Structure 1
Amino acid sequence: MLITRTTAAAWLALSLLMGACSSEQEDVAPAASLPEHLTLGNPSGATADPGQPTNYLLLKTQFAVSYHRDRGIPNWVSWHLSSEWLGSAARQDDFRADTGLPAGWYQVSTGSYTGSGFDRGHNCPSADRTKTIADNSATFLMTNMVPQAPNNNQRPWAGLESYCRTLVDQGNELYILMGNYGKGGTGSNGYKETLADGRVTVPRRLWKVIVVLPQGSDDVRRVSASTRVIAVDTPNDNALDTAWGSYRTTVDAIEQATGYDVMSQVPAPVQATLEARVDTGPTQ
């Protein structure tokens, strides 16, 4: 879908509306009224209210984030991936603190991960944002990172990210949601629960939900009971050496683990069908 990129300011004006969407609401809001990266819904009802520090909405041009101040990581990151977002911009590698957080909040820096045995694991991948240098650079904000076991990040997770771009090359557009839950993972230096003197939580599990649509418009209304939805849930463990397909699960299982409503803008009967199904499609 060729969506005109709305500005971050306009998205912020919409955030309270999105946060108010009930998980039980069956009416579908017009797609044009929703921020691009939240087209299928705001899973946790995040709002841009500093008084809600465990579910704070950051709306970037490139992706949307529910940020948890006390864990120092996002609860989830949501983004739209289509050919519009892909180009030839080089990987910037400019990891940095996010100065867009409210005043007084601890700003996680690249140094917060130094020597930890965990990668600075992207939620929205660098390679999903190569249209411009600015787009790619935005993915290196630390509010887009979680402590991720290197073999998890560089093996099954890298394979899944690559497969998503293969689907785009085949004429599709994707709505992708990545998140985490639990506490404690095993990196290259062993098990840890936190980094940076307790300011950054190491998640126990990392998950992703991918909704695959052929290129088109009016995307919410095109989601049907036959739409391919890929849900993956992996342990944050450096022993992982298996392809991502073996970690497929249901959206229902992820929602049960997190308390989120992953596709709240999709009509309830369609949600029920899609979220109960484990994907069995190709993996490369």
Structure 2
Amino acid sequence: MLKHTYRYFLLIFLFLSGCQDSEVAPQQALTLEEEQSLLGNPSGATADESNYNNYLMTKPQFALSYSRDRGTPNWVSWHVSRDWLGSAPRQNNFRADPELPQGWYRVTTSSYTGSGFDRGHSTPSADRTKSEEDNSATFLMTNIIPQAPNNNQETWANLEDYTRDLVQDGMEVYVVMGSYGVGGTGDNGTARTIDNGKVTVPNRIWKVLVVLEEGENDLQRINTGTRVIAVDTPNSNTVRPDWGTYRTTVDAIEQATGYDLLSALPVQVQQALESQMDTGPTR
């Protein structure tokens, strides 16, 4: 009898011990700034003024690497979830970013006047509608690039709408967007710069989306089966409206830019995700 009782309590002890070992430690709460750069810092940007062409800026709404000489962001990263979407109206208050270091040239909305290029958002206005303050942040010129109107208003708009559709369907999306090269084609033809040479017109515009079901511990939930969408488009008015035709791999974007995307993920997961081209739905 004692032998059987001992075995019974031993089994209970082992069961409870196993339950404790299998528990996943909860992820510490992230600041809003940490949330926007959860997937890593693609260019190793720093908040050092001497690093003027790879200057790190972190805001509650998005994070970015800024190039003083180009007058545009190198890349911008942000998180899209239901919590960021609300009813705040579009503020439309394009303006210079006061957080740039003193003495740096500050691009203004008038820098784009008559250029033939749109003031193209990196983090879209419609991705930040929780509050007027959040929406207003997307109109800082450090979030803006010279974008061919058809690229901005058709191809890119369709991809942005699709991203928010995913969120409304119960997903959350981590996004990194950037541009590279020199020379795009807008309403006035091809140009290498605007604003008397102070703002570079990029040749290519890219975006990477990491799509997850809503949940917690987002970084830990990304695995080799996670959907990753990589897109690389020409900055031209002749671009096709279907963004799906411009899908590529993260590896290809890294090769073109020299960046290390998704660097916060384990190497094995990075390698698997970055080599695959998405074939999922586009609407």
Supply the distance in 2 between the matched residues of 1:246 and 1:269 (Cα, whole angstroms).
Answer: 28
User: 1:252-263 maps to which residues of 2 (within 5 A)?
Assistant: 252-263=251-262
User: 1:130-145 maps to which residues of 2 (within 5 A)?
Assistant: 130-145=129-144
Identity rate, percent: 64
C-alpha contact (below 8 Å) 1:57/1:64 kept by paired residues: yes
| C-alpha distance after superposition, 1:141-165 (max 9, x if no partner) | 0000000000000111000000000
Of 150-159 and 240-249, deviating more is: 240-249
Q: Which runs of 5+ in 2 are unaligned?
A: 1-26
C-alpha contact (below 8 Å) 1:67/1:75 kept by paired residues: yes
Decide whether aligned partners of structure 1 residues 44 and 88 sit closer, same or farther in structure 2, where only a CA change above 3 A counts: same
| C-alpha distance after superposition, 1:236-276 (max 9, x if no partner) | 00112331000000000000000111100100111111000
Supply the distance in 2 between the matched residues of 1:137 and 1:110 (Cα, whole angstroms).
Answer: 14
| 1:66 maps onto 2:97 in alignment | no
**Secondary structure of 2:237's partner?**
coil
**Residue in structure 2 matched with residue 79 of structure 1 by the alignment:** 78
**Residue in structure 1 matched with residue 106 of structure 2 by the alignment:** 107
Supply the distance in 1 between the matched residues of 2:74 and 2:260 (Cα, whole angstroms).
Answer: 13
Of 37-46 and 247-256, deviating more is: 37-46
Equivalent position amino acid for 2:188 in 1: N
Decide whether aligned partners of structure 1 residues 216 and 235 sit closer, same or farther in structure 2, where only a CA change above 3 A counts: same
How does the TM-score come out when normalised to structure 2? Answer: 0.89
| 1:204 maps onto 2:203 in alignment | yes
Q: Which runs of 5+ in 1 are unaligned?
A: 1-29
C-alpha contact (below 8 Å) 1:95/1:110 kept by paired residues: yes
Runs of 4+ in 1 over 3 A off after TM superposition: 30-34
How does the TM-score come out when normalised to structure 1? Answer: 0.88
**Residue in structure 1 matched with residue 175 of structure 2 by the alignment:** 176
C-alpha contact (below 8 Å) 2:151/2:241 kept by paired residues: no
**Secondary structure of 1:137's partner?**
helix
Point out which structure has higher relative CO (alpha carbons under 8 A, 6+ apart).
1
C-alpha contact (below 8 Å) 1:186/1:238 kept by paired residues: yes
- RMSD of Structure 2 on Structure 1 (CA): 1.0
Supply the distance in 2 between the matched residues of 1:43 and 1:49 (Cα, whole angstroms).
Answer: 16
**Residue in structure 2 matched with residue 20 of structure 1 by the alignment:** none
User: 1:8-157 maps to which residues of 2 (within 5 A)?
Assistant: 32=29, 35-157=34-156
Cα deviation for residue 221 of structure 1 reads 1.0
**Residue in structure 2 matched with residue 160 of structure 1 by the alignment:** 159
Cα deviation for residue 220 of structure 1 reads 1.1
Supply the distance in 1 between the matched residues of 2:46 and 2:240 (Cα, whole angstroms).
Answer: 37
C-alpha contact (below 8 Å) 1:69/1:106 kept by paired residues: yes
Supply the distance in 2 between the matched residues of 1:226 and 1:54 (Cα, whole angstroms).
Answer: 35
**Residue in structure 2 matched with residue 227 of structure 1 by the alignment:** 226
Supply the distance in 2 between the matched residues of 1:186 and 1:265 (Cα, whole angstroms).
Answer: 35
Equivalent position amino acid for 2:128 in 1: R
Cα deviation for residue 31 of structure 1 reads 6.5
Radius of gyration: which is bigger? 2
Supply the distance in 2 between the matched residues of 1:32 and 1:250 (Cα, whole angstroms).
Answer: 31
**Residue in structure 2 matched with residue 277 of structure 1 by the alignment:** 276
C-alpha contact (below 8 Å) 1:97/1:110 kept by paired residues: yes
Cα deviation for residue 176 of structure 1 reads 0.2
Equivalent position amino acid for 1:75 in 2: N
Cα deviation for residue 187 of structure 1 reads 0.3
Supply the distance in 2 between the matched residues of 1:38 and 1:62 (Cα, whole angstroms).
Answer: 10
C-alpha contact (below 8 Å) 1:94/1:137 kept by paired residues: yes
Supply the distance in 2 between the matched residues of 1:92 and 1:60 (Cα, whole angstroms).
Answer: 18
Supply the distance in 2 between the matched residues of 1:240 and 1:120 (Cα, whole angstroms).
Answer: 17
